[in-house]
Structure 1
Amino acid sequence: MKITQKEAKMLCNSVELRLISDSLSPGIDSLNVKKIKTRMGNCAKAIKYWNNRYQVLEKSHAKLKKAKIEIPILPALKKENFKKKNILFQETYDRFKKQLTKLEKQQSVVKTSSKKRK
């Protein structure tokens, strides 16, 4: 399920949008291996965070209900947004991983060709 940039702008804050835009052309072409690995780590953190976020909120709401504290109702829309963000960061992670593989192949070709010259 591809999420459009318009949807991403509605779902994400500026830091998250920057991470996503870095995974798209032409931004991803200017990144080196170290920067890509850093961004992949950030994506992994975001995936982990948004993966079960709704369940965490449901559990905290259940605790508050048990304590008879008045709470706002969790809309189903929020649950859908959490799922979309998780998918969005998974797609971003995959784009970084694909670029990393491409760069590592290029580096290995350069290393092997320089060894042959010696």
Structure 2
Amino acid sequence: MAQYSTTLDDAFQALADPTRRAVLSRLGTGPASISELAGPFDMALPSFMKHIRLLEKSGWIRTRKVGRVRTCTLDTASYAAVENWLLTQRDVWEGRTDRLETFAASIRIEEKEL
């Protein structure tokens, strides 16, 4: 459970920043070099690299260096962890709303009987 929690913590921490979300969105269209990814952002490359390292550490992306070019690609492991957590939460909340709906229906029936 602790490892699962750490994975989720890292995944959501990575998603908390708009720059990192934009990088993930861009990588959704295919692999890209660091310079391609950094282009739209008004920040120094060392600052941008901090975002890349956090995305890589949290499992959202993988990087590969060929010569002088480092290319980033999406890694689906974090997507699966987040999706599983969200599905579990959805099941919990759907169960709660179903019980609330049943309760509200029983009150309406009782009111009609009075």
- Shorter-chain TM-score: what band? 0.3 to 0.5
Return the structure number with greater strand share. Answer: 2
Which has the bigger relative contact order, CA under 8 A and spacing at least 6?
Answer: 1
Structure with the higher fraction of residues in helix conformation: 1
**Structure with bigger gyration radius:** 2
